Amino acid sequence: MRVSTAFNRMLAIPGAFVRTVNFAPEGVVVEIGARARRRRCPCGYTTRACYDTRHRRWRHLDLGSCQLFLESEIARLDCPSCEVRTEQVPWARPGARHTKDFEDVVAWLAQRSDKTSVARLLRCSWEAVDHIVTRVVDEHLDTSRLDGLYRIGVDEISYTRGHRYFTVVADHDRGKVVWVATGRDSRALAGFYEALGEERRARIEAVSMDLGSIYRSVTESFVPHAAVCFDPFHVIQLANRALDHVYGASRPGTDGLITAKQWRAARYALRAGAERLAEDKRQILNQFRRTRYQLWRAWELKEMLRDLYRVVEPANARAHLTAWLRSASLSRIGPFVLLARQLRRHFDRVVAAVEWGLSNSRLEGINGKIRVIQRRGYGYPSPRSLASMIYLCLGGVTVTRPTER
């Protein structure tokens, strides 16, 4: 068997055949030729004519302990729409100096490991791994990821110091990131709604978010028919803050009914859920009911609001929240009176979270994974580089290894 025939079978380079094989000091150099006679521009235009030609080399997967390079003649085309551009070859992505097989292995490893380890394993530079990830994501990321969306969540996450944020949009049903944009403003989310288009925007039924007004205003502008669901965690967080104000305004008395140690333990008892309280913590709350009724009443209001998300059926959510607002307003506890006014302004958005069963917990989980990606990467050269890694790891991008084809 000839060497060229053996390498043809081993490498199985798409759209090309092996002409010669040379053993150079830097590794094995395989000269290949394209099977197709017509040359293809990246825009899709094909022609047999060429503007000029040059020799180019691509790094391929290692052959044992030797590095393997592919060499071929590549042409520039005088495209009617793109002017003069380099032709697109089937074994490499446009502008790449590595073959598709090499880049797919790099991207597959980058989904599971840090870039430094990938670079050392495959004997390439860290910068090459970073550029490869961006190219692979650009190829796999198309507008089809925005199809079939009807329940989405929006949240922000800081990616560096100085209050620099990403706006992240995820699909509640598939659990995938569908949009990452730099910034925490209306333009970042408006770009997502514009990319959806009018037809896909009409299918959006519910959007979960925190209580901020930035994302709410642009959502109500682009998808006014969709239900805006306020994240339950942030609603309960407001109740806990109101409870903290009541706790901070109270002081342990000198009546001897509660010790200083019990007073410090009371903070945990007040913040913890009623279903997780031990017997000693329940005794502290019962003592508050007798000696500091206002503090106990504030805790009871907090638990009543938690019941909205824990035990109340969606059909009864409106009645329960209405009763809670009445109780909080009549309690004469300042922080809870203010909280009732705030929730009354957003009544429909608070209830929608119960009726739709949505929260931003999936977004919080995604943000935790993004933190892992950041720590694993030990820094990224640009926001686009980090966004590409987010899409690669959390956007549902499936990279097929050459051994799986």
Q: What is the pLDDT of residues 343-397, one digit of tens each?
A: 999 999 999 999 999 999 999 999 999 999 998 888 788 999 999 999 999 998 9
Q: Is the pLDDT assigned to residue 140 strictly greater than 80?
A: yes
Residue 294 or residue 262, greater confidence: 294
For residue 269, pLDDT over 90 is answered with no
Q: What is the value of pTM for the model shown?
A: 0.87
Tell me: the pLDDT tens digits for 157-204?
Answer: 998 877 889 999 999 999 999 999 999 989 999 999 999 999 999 999
pLDDT of residue 254: 46
283-332 confidence digits (pLDDT tens):
878 888 888 888 889 999 999 999 999 999 999 999 999 999 999 999 99
Average pLDDT of the residues in 237-264: 75
- Note the pLDDT of residue 305: 95
What pLDDT, on a 0 to 100 scale, did the predictor assign at position 39?
A: 87
- Total residues found in the chain within this entry: 405
Q: Is the pLDDT of residue 250 over 80?
A: no
Q: Which of 93, 68, 64, 54 is nearest to 18 (CA)?
A: 68
pLDDT at site 251: 67
State the DSSP string of 388-405. HHHHHHHS---PPPGGG-
Burial bucket for residue 311 (CB in 10 Å: 0-12, 13-18, 19+): exposed
Cβ atoms of 375 and 386 within 8 Å: the answer is no
b/e sequence 17-40, b meaning 16+ C-beta within 10 Å: ebeeeeeeeebbbbbbebeeeebb
Whether 10 has a pLDDT exceeding 70, the answer reads yes
Q: pLDDT averaged over the chain? A: 90
Cα–Cα–Cα angle for 235, 241, 246, rounded to 5 degrees: 130
Contact 350, 312 (CB under 8 A): no
pLDDT of residue 180: 96
Going from the C-alpha of 381 to that of each of 127, 269, 299, 393, the distances in angstroms are 9, 46, 48, 18
Neighbours of 338 (CB within 10 A): 14
Q: Determine the Cα–Cα distance for residues 43 and 154; give it in Å rounded to an integer.
A: 34
For residue 259, what pLDDT band results from cuts at 50, 70 and 90? low
pLDDT of residue 324: 96
Band the pLDDT of 274: cuts 50, 70, 90. confident
Dihedral of CA 375/131/108/179: which sign? positive
Q: What is the pLDDT of residue 277?
A: 81
Structural element, H or E, at residue 373: helix 361-377
- Predicted confidence at residue 60, as pLDDT, reads 95
CA distances from 38 to 48, 71, 207, 399 (A): 5, 19, 49, 29
Q: Name the pLDDT band for 4 (thresholds 50, 70, 90).
A: confident
- Which pLDDT score is estimated for 284? 79
Residue 257: is its pLDDT beyond 50? yes
Q: Is the pLDDT of residue 5 over 60?
A: yes
Residue 120 exposed, middle or buried by CB count within 10 Å (0-12, 13-18, 19+): exposed
Where does 257-390 show beta strands of DSSP type E? none
Residue-wise pLDDT tens digits, 29-66: 999 988 888 888 888 888 888 888 888 999 999 988 89
- Decide if 390 contacts 177 (C-beta within 8 A): yes
Q: Which CATH superfamily is domain 143-229+361-397 in?
A: Ribonuclease H-like superfamily/Ribonuclease H (3.30.420.10)
